[in-house]
Chains A and B, each alone.
Chain A
Amino acid sequence: MNHGESKKSRLVAHVDMNSYFASVEQQANPFLRGRAVGVCAYLHRYGCVIAASVEAKQMGMRVGMTMEEAKETVPSAVFVQNEPSKYRAVTSRIFSIFHEMTDAVEHYSIDEAFLDLTGWYRDAAEAGFAFSRVKHRIRDEVGEWLRCSVGIAPTRFLAKFASDLKKPDGLTVLTPENLEETFAIADLEDAWGIGPRYRRRLEGLGIKTLLDLKHYPVENLLAVLGKPGYFLWAHVNGIEIGTGGFEAHSPPKTIGHSYCVPNRVNHDKTVEAILTRLTERAGRRLRKYGLLAGAVTVVVGFRHGGGFSDHFRFSEAVHDSFSLVSAVARLLHSRWDGESVDFLAVTLSDFSVPTGQMDMMADRCIRGASHPGTHSRAPLLAFSLDRIRDRHGEEAIVYGRMFKILGRDDAPDRIGFRKTSGAGWEDAGTRGY
Chain B
Amino acid sequence: MPYETVSEPVEVLVAFRKERPEPMVFKWGNRYYQIRKVNLIHTERVGHEKIYYFSVSDEANAYRLSFRSESLAWQLEEMAVL
Contacts and interface: CB of A to CB of B under 8 A. Distances in A.
A29 B47 contact: no
B1 A24 contact: no
Given A29-B2, A32-B2, A433 B80 contact: no
Contact of B40 (A90, A393, A396): A90
Contact of A393 (B37, B41, B43, B46): B46
Nearest to A24: B40
A102 B39 CA distance: 28
Nearest to A413: B44
Interface string A369-410: 000000000000000000001111110100000000000000
Interface size class of B (residues with CB under 8 A): 20 to 34
B31 interface: no
Interface residues of A, number: 28
B70 to A, nearest CB: 10
B47 A390 contact: yes
Contact of B43 (A80, A389, A392, A433): A433
Given A29-B62, A31-B61, A86 B47 contact: no
Interface in A67-117: 78-80, 85-86, 89-90
Contacts of B72: none
A267 B9 CA distance: 34
Given A29-B80, A32-B2, A80-B2, A89 B61 contact: no
B42 A85 contact: yes
Kindly name the residue among B20, B47, B57, B82 whose own CB sees the greatest number of chain A CB atoms within 10 A: B47
A391 B53 contact: no
A43 interface: yes
B17 interface: no
A391 B39 contact: no
Contacts of B47: 389-394, 396
A432 to B, nearest CB: 8
Contacts of B41: 433
A86 B40 contact: yes
Given A78-B82, A396-B47, A433-B52, A86 B42 contact: yes
Kindly name the residue among B49, B50, B80 whose own CB sees the greatest number of chain A CB atoms within 10 A: B80
Contact of B39 (A29, A78, A393, A429): A29
A176 interface: no
Contacts of A78: 2, 82
Contacts of A242: none
Contact of A31 (B1, B48, B62): B62
Nearest to B50: A429
Given A28-B39, A28-B55, A86-B40, 15 more contacts: A28-B40, A28-B62, A29-B62, A31-B57, A31-B80, A80-B3, A85-B43, A85-B44, A86-B42, A89-B43, A143-B40, A391-B47, A393-B49, A394-B46, A429-B51
Which 7 pairs of residues, A with B, have the shortest CB-CB distance?
Answer: A429-B45, A89-B42, A28-B55, A393-B47, A29-B62, A392-B47, A28-B40
